[in-house]
Amino acid sequence: MATLKSVDTEDLQLVLEICMIIPQSPEPWVEYKIEYHTGTFNIKLWRDNLPQDRCSGFKKLLDGINSIIKGQKDSIEYEAIEPDYEIKIVFNKPTEANPEGYYLVTLWRDLGNLEEGVYGLDALGLRLVTDKKNLIKFYTQLKKELD
């Protein structure tokens, strides 16, 4: 399980857990779940069937996180194949007030994949602010699950 914690409060977290790698040809798929924890509330972004994506999709996410950690990019976007959601990570450069800089992480959930069954654009947005130490830990945990 990979956990990305907020710098604002320890109990605000984005949790991504790899449940199973499904061997398929020509490429394996990953079954996973994503939860958003805040205080005593846990928001599960999928209720019935767990989402799946190609292993190469998660490797793209890992490569993107690694490039933003190394300072090669200021932002990354990852959009899963099924069901539709998007993760964005943007590095906000150091300022006098925040000499380390910070990472703004947003997760957008597509309206058509929520329980209402109404199809449209983004319906649910979750956001947290994290730092490099937490992002490295998340990257390491997720990479370990996929290896």
What pLDDT digit, counting tens, does each position of 8-36 carry?
A: 877 788 888 888 888 887 888 888 888 88
Cα dihedral: 57, 60, 62, 63 (round 10)? 170
Q: What is the pTM of this model?
A: 0.84
Query: Helix, strand or coil for residue 146?
Result: helix
Domain borders along the chain are 2-146
Cβ neighbors of 97 (< 8 A, separation 6 or more) are none
Query: Which residues are registered as beta bridge partners of 82?
Result: 52
Fold of 2-146: Transcriptional Co-activator pc4; Chain A (2.30.31)
What pLDDT digit, counting tens, does each position of 96-117 carry?
A: 888 889 999 998 876 554 444 4
- Read off the pLDDT band of 53 (50, 70, 90): confident
What pLDDT digit, counting tens, does each position of 64-95 carry?
A: 999 999 999 999 998 877 656 788 999 998 88
Positive or negative, the Cα torsion across 30, 33, 34, 38?
negative
CA distance 131 to 63: 18
